[in-house]
């Protein structure tokens, strides 16, 4: 089961999967000794989603009624799991919400690759249920923490810069690394990145999301500003050491949400006249090359040579489509249906000789994709549609080609189907140059798989790509 899940949802090597299998064999013993639910989770292709690959439950006191192997762990519900997978830092006593909507505490440690100890291949999770008594104690602690802590800290401090950060997140730790104050902005930011509870009372190691060590800050070695990307946010983190006396110290963490700033910066660059002009020139150059090839094609009577020229022209124009749209929009992302419709228009113009009445439909979901991905998809769709037009309707007066787009949670899919005469799968495996290009692009650029279904009622070819 573990091996199957890892192959389907992760990019782990065979050696790393074997390591997880060995570790999973010891989970039942660990669960029995700790009297707790124990899991192994791996990162999926989505940055906010992990998947359970192994589990063990105690005979009594489990928080689960059903197996969760093969189910997702989302950042919003299990922030400790995603934090440790991303940073490699252990997480202690984090609140989490199970797949059965029960509140538990998680202790999470990273599992590192034997091939490279900097690579985190999975996490080991030990979970315990949370009872009402512990929740009441926690609430009592939170109710006793007031803004007086901040006021006193400011008055004690020689660093008066706290006042300048009033619109930012502020977290204060005592010399033991326990959070004694968090303003409303800080609480909001941490809830947004997946923390279920207030950060008050949590230890520094559980709250920090960059690679800063508590002892370095406490000793005054670390006070520089760092930017960190987590979930869909970009945060600027800055630490200050506050001395009440020589022996009593507090640490203040300032957190600024700079996500919008970073997004605006990107948009300004992408919308610049320079980039638009580059795309425009690339498009013009590609169309010039296509025109030169057309002229060259007219000088030969060899049908095979003409066909080769035609195929090359189509491929060049399919790449040109992406640059044309980018030049118009001035953005680095394009709507997938807009790209596909443009490709189909070119394919019909170049290949349709009037012998077959064709109807082409584009159905399904519409969403934005990157320019690099758009170019690859444009080439693939062009080759597959061109193949349909040339071969699928021999001996027929009319036909239909359907291009369907389906957006998934982590992967999306495009299928090109026809109601033609079908094809020999062996011929597909051997493949023309065009089909070889398709296979290569799907595997090497989109990291997906190509699937073929064919029969006397037509052919369907589909491929997937990461969102």
Check residue 140 and give its pLDDT: 46
| DSSP letter assigned to residue 209 | -
Check residue 5 and give its pLDDT: 93
Among residues 455, 337, 457, the alpha carbon closest in space to that of 404 is found at 337
Whether 183 and 163 have beta carbons less than 8 Å apart is answered as no
Q: What does the domain layout of the chain look like in residue ranges?
A: 2-130, 135-257, 271-466
- List the pLDDT tens digit at each of the 467 positions of the chain: 899 999 999 989 999 999 999 899 888 888 887 888 999 999 998 888 999 999 999 988 899 999 999 999 999 899 999 999 998 888 888 889 999 999 898 899 999 998 888 899 999 999 988 765 544 444 444 444 434 444 344 443 433 334 334 567 888 888 888 888 888 788 888 888 877 666 788 888 888 888 788 888 888 776 667 888 887 888 888 888 877 666 677 888 888 888 888 888 777 766 666 566 666 677 777 778 878 887 888 888 887 887 778 777 777 877 777 777 776 766 667 888 988 888 888 777 655 556 778 888 999 999 988 888 888 898 899 888 888 888 888 888 888 999 999 998 888 999 999 998 887 766 665 656 777 888 888 888 888 888 888 888 889 999 988 87
- Taking the domain 135-257, which CATH number applies? 3.30.450.20
| Phi-psi category of residue 327: left, alpha or beta, with phi > 0 → left and psi -120 to 50 → alpha | alpha
Is it true that 2-130 and 271-466 share their CATH fold? no
Alpha helices in 146-272 (DSSP H): 148-156, 184-192, 204-207, 214-218, 259-270
Check residue 223 and give its pLDDT: 65
* Distance separating alpha carbons of residues 118 and 112, to the nearest angstrom: 7
Alpha helices in 74-147 (DSSP H): 79-87, 132-144
- Taking the domain 271-466, which CATH number applies? 3.30.565.10
2-130: CATH topology: Beta-Lactamase (3.30.450)
Check residue 415 and give its pLDDT: 94
* Distance separating alpha carbons of residues 289 and 300, to the nearest angstrom: 18
Whether 367 and 407 have beta carbons less than 8 Å apart is answered as yes
Among residues 298, 310, 195, the alpha carbon closest in space to that of 255 is found at 195
Instruction: Output Rg (C-alpha) for the chain, integer angstroms.
Output: 29
Neighbours of 385 (CB within 10 A): 25
169-173/249-257 β-pairing: antiparallel
How many Cα atoms within 13 Å fall on the side-chain side of residue 10?
Answer: 25
103-112/120-129 β-pairing: antiparallel
Check residue 330 and give its pLDDT: 60
Check residue 161 and give its pLDDT: 39
């Amino acid at each position: 089961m573990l091996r199957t899940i890892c192959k389907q949802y992760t990019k782990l090597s065979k050696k790393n999967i074997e390591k997880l299998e060995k570790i999973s064999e010891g989970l039942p013993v660990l669960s029995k000794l700790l009297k707790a639910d124990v899991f192994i989770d791996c990162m999926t292709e989505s940055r906010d989603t992990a998947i359970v690959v192994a589990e063990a439950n105690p005979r009594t006191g489990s928080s689960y009624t059903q197996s969760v192997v093969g189910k997702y762990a989302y950042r919003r519900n299990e922030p400790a799991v995603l934090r440790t997978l991303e940073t490699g830092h252990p997480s202690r006593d984090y609140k989490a919400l199970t797949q059965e909507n029960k509140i538990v505490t998680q202790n999470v440690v990273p599992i590192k690759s034997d091939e490279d100890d900097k690579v985190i291949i999975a996490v080991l999770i030990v979970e315990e249920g949370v009872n009402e008594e512990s929740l009441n104690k926690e609430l009592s602690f939170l109710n006793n923490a007031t803004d007086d802590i901040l006021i006193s800290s400011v008055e004690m401090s020689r660093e008066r810069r706290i006042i300048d950060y009033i619109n930012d997140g502020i977290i204060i730790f005592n010399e033991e690394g326990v959070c004694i104050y968090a303003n409303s902005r800080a609480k909001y930011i941490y809830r947004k990145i997946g923390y279920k509870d207030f950060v008050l009372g949590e230890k520094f190691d559980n709250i920090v999301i960059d690679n800063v060590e508590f002892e370095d800050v406490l000793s005054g070695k670390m006070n520089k500003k760092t930017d960190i990307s987590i979930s869909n946010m970009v945060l600027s983190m800055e630490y200050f050491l506050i001395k009440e006396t020589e022996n009593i110290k507090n640490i203040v963490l300032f957190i600024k949400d700079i996500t919008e700033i970073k997004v605006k910066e990107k948009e300004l660059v992408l919308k610049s006249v320079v980039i638009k002009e580059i795309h425009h020139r690339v498009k013009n150059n590609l169309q010039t090359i296509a025109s030169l090839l057309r002229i060259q094609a007219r000088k030969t009577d060899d049908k095979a040579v003409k066909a080769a020229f035609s195929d090359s022209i189509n491929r060049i124009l399919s790449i040109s489509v992406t640059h044309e749209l980018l030049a118009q929009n001035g953005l680095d992302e394009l709507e997938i249906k807009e790209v596909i419709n443009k490709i189909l228009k070119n394919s019909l113009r170049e290949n349709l000789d009037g012998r077959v009445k064709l109807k082409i439909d584009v159905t399904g979901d519409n969403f934005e994709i990157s320019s690099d991905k758009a170019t690859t998809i444009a080439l693939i769709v062009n080759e597959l549609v061109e193949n349909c037009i040339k071969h699928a309707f021999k001996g027929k007066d009319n036909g239909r080609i359907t291009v369907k787009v389906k957006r998934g949670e982590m992967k999306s899919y495009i299928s090109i189907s026809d109601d033609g005469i079908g094809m020999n799968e062996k011929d597909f495996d051997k493949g023309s140059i065009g089909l070889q290009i398709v296979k290569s692009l799907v595997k090497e650029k989109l990291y997906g798989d190509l699937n073929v279904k064919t029969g006397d009622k037509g052919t369907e070819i589909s491929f997937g790509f990461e969102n």
